[in-house]
Chains A and B, each alone.
Chain A
Amino acid sequence: MDLSQYAELFLAESREHLSACNQLLLDWERNPASPEPVAGLFRAVHTIKGMAATMGYGRVADLSHRMENLLDHLRRSGRAPADEIIQLLFRATDALEKAVGLAVAGREREADLAVLAEIDRAALQAKPAPQPSGLARHFIEAPEAPEPPDSHNLPAAPPGSARLVHVVIRPEAPLKGGRAMLVVRKLQTLGTVHRVQPAAAAFESDDFDGRFLCELETARPAADIEAAVRSVGDVEGVTFGGGTDESQVSPAESVAGGGRTRHIRVDLRRLDTLMDLIGELVTERGRLNDVAARWVGQDPEIDEVAIQISRLSADLQNEIILARMTPVWQVFDRFPRLVRDVARQLDKQVSFRVEGKEIELDREILDALGDPLVHLLRNAVDHGIEPPAERKRHKKDPEGEIVLTAVRERSSVAISISDDGRGIDRAKILEKAKREGVVDPHVESLSDDQLLRVLARPGFSTAESVTSVSGRGVGIDVAMTRIRALGGSIEIRTEPGKGTAFVLRLPVTLAIVRALIAAVGQERYALPLTYVAETVEFGTVPLTTMEGRDAIVLRDRVVPLVDLRKLLGTNGGAPAPPPRRPVIVLEMGERRAGIVVDGMLSQQEIVVKGFDAPQGTLPVFSGATIMGDGVPALILDSAGLV
């Protein structure tokens, strides 16, 4: 059997269980007297063990087996574990996670199993005092005197009388006690079993060697008895020989059932390919609509077909987008452990809460989001939350709080990381920024926006000392680049003494977005609707200036303008701009900008294609798309414009 086909599934499912382990350990650490975490941990580790053994990953199976053993003892003891045990289990879970990854990569031998000795030692200490097992007692009474094993060559007893049946289970058979119990049950269908030797309770022991005797009262001939015993399987020898098949089992009626819901796992690459194909279909649909518009005079049916095709491809597109949607908990679930570890390392007290776990995002976006969130969470623990003593001095709860929230907005998802820590010291950042020449010397205070821009400069670090956790001058800039690449934005809010919040806004899906198609000169540009707040006409709203830039006043708010003609250097052969140019107002959280274009052509769905910007390209494009007529158009990056 080719096992490699199951490796991906093994990895995915093991990771889910490992993530559950971390969560359960956190629960247990908080509430050591609770019986639920250990039961869940046992199940998770047990499942990993079974899967690993099936895959032939011996080291993973061994490690999980010993963890399972320890957990089993802890579960039975019913006592709250010492903190060292929980810390050991955290380390063991980490070791298991690494071993799983190495095993799937074909490098299982590199797995570090140093933690095994500790686990075994802890298991020995946790082992509860032996108790008589009562499992088999109620089933078969097993009296005293063992019949000598060589007594099996008895003459056939007359029908109706008791006879001894001596059975030997194959030495290589697994769980011989289970097999023996099946034999006993089988014999009970032939008559009355008066005695089993050794006692059936011995079957439950791993030391059981597979040899036992039954005293059976039956009218059936020896041949029937032997056949019955052998039908159980894995039987090496029975006292009586010969015989033909026998079965007590009557075939059941086969009834095929309805109402099944089945899940399958699909490689994400398949979905990507499907998405690309649908993307092309959407493009062709656009062409078809253009053609239909030209021909509809000759044959009105073409219009009908075009409409149907549009509807069907829209449905198809929705289905595939839904298939790619993944709840955020799949990435968020590892964060409680992360926050706890970082907090412990830094001697901080932090409670961590996640809200909106069920909010869904495109799998690709979600995957790319993991690292930026890790950076921001580490920062929150390291720079945000104060040490307990400092918090007490400021009359705050010594335990700080970090909240990670996901909220669905219009066509985007907002993810915020907020802490109730010390906040960012604007004056200090300003001073440092001036020293490094990042801001003009005459600037007196930093707005939230400016603050973020300063913090997000590569290499700009505010940490007074570099810790192993953060403060190496990477972090916000990396996070910002990643989020921008996904078509998203970052915003910061901070208040001295009260805390800091980072808000990330991301499109729900990457692959197909609704966009405004705007014209500038002879070119067309696509502007995703995700961040389009409204459009107004230049000249119908009051004009002003803001920090030396042109701006409009919109409902008492000043919105700076970006003239795409100027920005993109459109000139020369381009026709003169129309007298009344439209302004597209973009809104990203608190930030706004009005984009001045020559005209607005349409609103349509575009298929986003990544593109490698040639050097020197303005940083205002996030990708490209092919229009219905086959001509490419660049997609404007809202975050780069606002």
Chain B
Amino acid sequence: MSHTVLVCDDAIFMRTMITDILAQAGFEVVGEAETGTQAVEKYRQLKPDLVTMDIVMPDMGGIDAVREIVKQDPDAKILMCSAMGQQALVVEAIQAGAKDFVVKPFQPSRVLEAVQRVLG
């Protein structure tokens, strides 16, 4: 059975691209979230194998969402999607419990490597 993924990003553009990359590699994107609050809620509903999480989102940011999700499920596998120049935020996200990160602009191969690492 293919792994299920929840894609969290406030940009449809990014969600589309991440979904395309993952779907082509055989993952099943079961949900999308545009805000941190939605991400926490959808994680609870969908219990995906993997979460991709943007850092900057309205409502609740990605890092707070990581904290909330890890509080619910310490084994949650969250991959941060960051941009150049977000070093401090990435470090903070990892401290909050994110398992890995990729940096925009995404290269499909690097995204898939990171996903494999996170899923183990």
* Given known contacts A6-B16, A257-B46, A182 and B92 CB-to-CB distance under 8 angstroms: no
Question: Which of A42-50, A91-99, A341-349, A446-454 is the interface stretch?
Answer: A42-50
Q: Given A249-B119, A252-B49, do A46 and B83 touch, yes or no (CB 8 Å)? A: yes
* Chain B residue with Cβ nearest A253: B47
CB–CB A43/B32 < 8 A: no
Q: What is the interface residue range for chain B against chain A? A: 35 or more
With contacts A51-B11, A65-B85, A175-B86 taken as known, whether A251 is within 8 angstroms of B100 at the C-beta atoms is no
Question: Which of A53, A136, A254 is the one whose CB lies under 8 Å from B105?
Answer: A53
Chain A 1-45 interface residues, beta-carbon cutoff 8 Å to B: 1, 6, 9-10, 13, 40, 42-43
The distance from the CB of B14 to the nearest CB of chain A, in whole angstroms, is: 6
Tell me the bound Cα distance from A327 to B93 in angstroms: 37
Residues of A within 8 A of B87 (CB): 175, 177-178, 203-206, 208
Cα-based distance from A208 to B13 in the complex (angstroms): 31
Stretch of A258-266, A354-362, A611-619 contacting B (4+ beta carbons < 8 Å)? A258-266
Check A445 for interface membership: any CB of B closer than 8 A: no
Q: In the complex, what residue of chain B is closest to A245 when comparing beta carbons? A: B120
Contact of B71 with A by CB under 8 A: no
Q: Which of A50, A250, A252 contacts B11 (CB 8 A)?
A: A50
Q: Mark A174-188, 1 if CB is under 8 A from B, else 0.
A: 110110011001000
Contact check, A40 vs B58: say whether CB atoms are below 8 A apart.
yes
Near B by CB (< 8 A), chain A positions 215-264 give: 231-233, 247-257, 259-260, 262-263
> Which residues of chain A are near B106, meaning CB under 8 Å?
54
Specify which of A1, A133, A205 lies most central, judged by the most chain B CB atoms within 10 Å of its CB. A1
Contact of A251 among B10, B83, B101, B119 (CB under 8 A): B119
A233 with B100: in contact, given A181-B91, A208-B87 (CB under 8 Å)? yes
Contacts of B108 in A (CB 8 A): 1
Secondary structure at the B interface, as helix, strand, loop or mixed, is mixed
Closest beta carbon of chain A to B25's beta carbon, Å:
12
Q: How many residues belonging to A are interface residues under a CB distance threshold of 8 Å?
A: 54
Q: Is the interface of A mostly helix, strand, loop or mixed?
A: loop
Which residues on A sit within 8 Å (CB–CB) of B85? 65, 206
Given the known interface contacts A46-B56, A53-B104, the answer about A257 and B91 at a Cβ–Cβ threshold of 8 Å is no
- Cβ A136 vs Cβ B11 within 8 A: no
User: Which of A13, A56, A247 sits near B13, CB closer than 8 Å?
Assistant: A13
With A249-B118, A257-B31 known as contacts, the answer to whether A9 contacts B12 (CB < 8 A) is: yes
Q: Given A9-B12, A13-B13, A174-B103, are A250 and B120 neighbors across the interface (CB < 8 Å)? A: yes
Q: Are A47 and B56 neighbours in the complex by a CB distance under 8 Å?
A: yes
Give every chain A residue within 8 A of B47 (Cβ-Cβ): 252-253, 255, 257
Q: Which of B64-120 contact A (CB under 8 A)?
A: 75, 77, 82-88, 90-95, 99-101, 103-108, 113-114, 117-120
A218 to B105, CA, bound (A): 38
Task: Tell me whether A204 and B91 are in contact in the complex, defined as CB-CB below 8 angstroms, given that A51-B13, A53-B105, A253-B47 are known contacts.
Answer: yes
- In angstroms, how far is the closest chain B Cβ from the Cβ of A229? 12
Verify if A576 is at the interface (C-beta below 8 Å from B). no
When distances are taken between beta carbons in the complex, the residues of chain A under 8 Å from B58 are 40, 43
Q: Which residues of A contact B94 (CB under 8 A)?
A: 178, 181-182, 185
CA distance A203 to B48 in the complex (A): 30
- The answer to the question of B30 belonging to the interface, with a C-beta cut-off of 8 Å to chain A, is yes
Say whether B84 contacts A54, CB under 8 Å.
no
Q: Which residue of A lies closest to B92 (CB)?
A: A135
A13 near B12 (CB under 8 angstroms)? yes
Q: What are 16 A-B contacts with C-beta separation under 8 Å? A: A9-B16, A43-B10, A46-B83, A50-B11, A50-B104, A56-B105, A65-B84, A135-B95, A178-B90, A178-B101, A181-B90, A249-B118, A251-B120, A254-B4, A257-B31, A262-B32
7 more CB-based (< 8 A) A-B contacts, given A42-B56, A177-B87: A13-B11, A43-B56, A43-B58, A205-B88, A206-B85, A249-B119, A256-B46
> Which A residues lie at the B interface, using CB under 8 A?
1, 6, 9-10, 13, 40, 42-43, 46-47, 49-51, 53-56, 65, 133, 135-136, 139, 174-175, 177-178, 181-182, 185, 200, 203-206, 208, 231-233, 247-257, 259-260, 262-263, 265
- A-B interface, 4 closest residue pairs, ranked by CB to CB distance from nearest: A257-B46, A249-B120, A178-B90, A204-B88
